[in-house]
A and B are shown apart, each in its own frame.
Chain A
Amino acid sequence: MKFFRFHSILFCVLVVLNSCNTTRVVKPLEKGETRISADLGGPIVGFPIPMSSLSAGYGISDKLNAFGGFHFTTLAYQSLQFDFGVNYGFLEPDEWKPGISGSFILNPIIDLRTNNSSLFPETALNFYWQLKEKHIPFIGITNWYDLAKNSTELGKGQLMHPTMYLGYNYEGPKWIFGIETKWLNLNKELMVPQVDHTSLGGKGAVGLYFKAAYRLIRSE
């Protein structure tokens, strides 16, 4: 039974592919800063599923960042999943007024069994505060767009796949640690056979995620 349960959990890992990492960039990186990050976490099925990804970010300017990530757990099931995006800082935080940043992301998924590929654009809006330099609490909303929704079987596809999140990042001089909870696919009931996942009001799935990031290069 343990084996069966373990694989049921892995099954669940793979069926909530969207928004399966912490928010890549909340507070924009400084110009010239390069950061690598490891993410772990996923939907809660009694405990957060350990989905994993690695990403890197670069500060093109103090407001504009580029980043990209690679998802290992999906690869283990013979699909390649990436995310590539840019983040722009619209407003810097000022005491209790939140900073605002937004991201545009592309999420390609390539099925290595058939070489079929899918591309899901994503937009995100973050509201964050900076407390005593190092503490960054934040909230935000992100949305995956399924442009091929009409190809969904039995005609039940949807364009919008929104996720809300709430998190906290500790930003040290070199290391950054983060914890984040997400309400994935909050506008729909997810049906995952044989796996009881945590949802809110029967909608979506609740996930818990952790991040450890390291500044490889930091501008002075």
Chain B
Amino acid sequence: MKTLKFIFIFSTITGVFAGCKNDVASALLKGEPVEYEFTNAQLEEQFVEEGLVQQFSLTSNNGGNEAKIEALYIGSQDAIKTDTVILYLHGNLSSMNPYWEHAANLANVGGQHRFGVMMFDYRGFGNSEGASEDITDLVADAEACIKWLTERGLTYDRLVVVGFSLGAMPAAHLANNPTAIKCIHKLSIEAPQTTSTKLLQDATGLSLDGSTVTAFHYDIPKALADYKQDFLWIHGTEDQTASFENFKKVYDDFENPNKSSAELEGLGHDISIEMGFETYETLMLDFIKK
């Protein structure tokens, strides 16, 4: 009788757990609603003209799965039709707010508001609707921003995509998109991961596939394989979130005559802030003007 009870309890508990459809993507790709704060009060070193900061919503469409996402444009929108624009894909913190300083720094590269900067919250991040469950969701949101920019006169040769940490994943996959590849003439990725499988393997030390714990699949080396336009990789050697050694191997194997890197000794994950604005400005300005 005790054995039967045990089997019954075991079966019940198993059924409950089997009914759960958890995915670690919910850990990787989950933000939270916020009150957006994009003023000089949140900045420490580089400031903006607050009148040139516009926050707005736009619609992203991933194969019919539409979501209203929140975006930010820093600079004169009139200049979109004539000047270079930087699209900044932020990292895995909960919204655009923690990346306001990163975006403001980009808006000061080459002088205050030298280049327009666009940033957005992925689905499920900040006040953007929906949920990011797949790399295609992140890419679709970035493409919606590019569409918004091209509708205002941006031509492909004036678009610079900068992806930081999580943002490097859609940035690289965007470069792999046959239709978007024409758009991205300059791609910079900062402190990137490599693949979803490698992320799990670094955490367990075991030769497990990423699909063991998540359906969220990304593969930056594969996505970049055919990208031959200007490419800049920025990474700190002491990054404890995204392994420098992992991406160093990817970079070394990456066959692109237009690749360049900034491998910064002793710096960690928040690389663009840690290196200081002057160094970052020089790096980005050289890359944009290349």
Q: Do A and B come from one complex?
A: yes
User: What are 6 A-B residue pairs whose CB atoms fall within 8 Å in the complex?
Assistant: A4-B31, A72-B13, A73-B17, A75-B17, A153-B198, A153-B201
Any chain A CB within 8 A of the CB of B241? yes
A113 engages B200 (CB within 8 Å): no
- Partner among A16, A109, A148 whose Cβ is within 8 Å of the Cβ of B203: A16
List residues of B whose CB falls within 8 A of some A CB: 2-3, 6, 10, 13-14, 17-18, 20-24, 26-28, 30-32, 92, 94, 193-195, 197-209, 211-215, 240-243, 245-246, 249-250
B22 engages A76 (CB within 8 Å): yes
B198 engages A10 (CB within 8 Å): no
A109-B201 contact, Cβ under 8 Å, with A3-B30, A76-B17, A191-B240: no
How far apart are the CA atoms of A15 and B18 in the complex, in Å? 19
How far apart are the CA atoms of A7 and B247 in the complex, in Å? 26
Task: Name the CB-closest residue of B to A56.
Answer: B6
**Most chain B beta carbons < 10 A, residue from A16, A17, A54:** A17
A3 engages B32 (CB within 8 Å): yes
Number of residues from A at the complex interface, CB < 8 A: 53
Interface string of A157-191 (1 = CB under 8 A from B): 11001000000000000000000000001001011
Interface string of A73-106 (1 = CB under 8 A from B): 1011111000000000000000000000000000
Interface Cβ pair total, 8 Å cutoff: 139
**Most chain A beta carbons < 10 A, residue from B23, B197, B205, B246:** B205
A54 engages B13 (CB within 8 Å): yes
How far apart are the CA atoms of A157 and B213 in the complex, in Å? 19
How far apart are the CA atoms of A10 and B21 in the complex, in Å? 13
B207 engages A149 (CB within 8 Å): yes
How far apart are the CA atoms of A180 and B49 in the complex, in Å? 58
B94 engages A4 (CB within 8 Å): yes
A75-B18 contact, Cβ under 8 Å, with A1-B32, A113-B211, A153-B195: yes
Task: Name the CB-closest residue of A to B243.
Answer: A191
- Partner among B22, B202, B240 whose Cβ is within 8 Å of the Cβ of A77: B22
CB neighbours of B212 from chain A (8 A) = 14, 79, 109, 111, 113, 116, 118
A216 engages B3 (CB within 8 Å): yes
How far apart are the CA atoms of A111 and B26 in the complex, in Å? 18
How far apart are the CA atoms of A157 and B206 in the complex, in Å? 7
**A1-43 CB contacts (< 8 Å) to partner B:** 1, 3-4, 7-8, 10-12, 14-18, 36
**A50-78 CB contacts (< 8 Å) to partner B:** 54, 56, 70, 72-73, 75-78
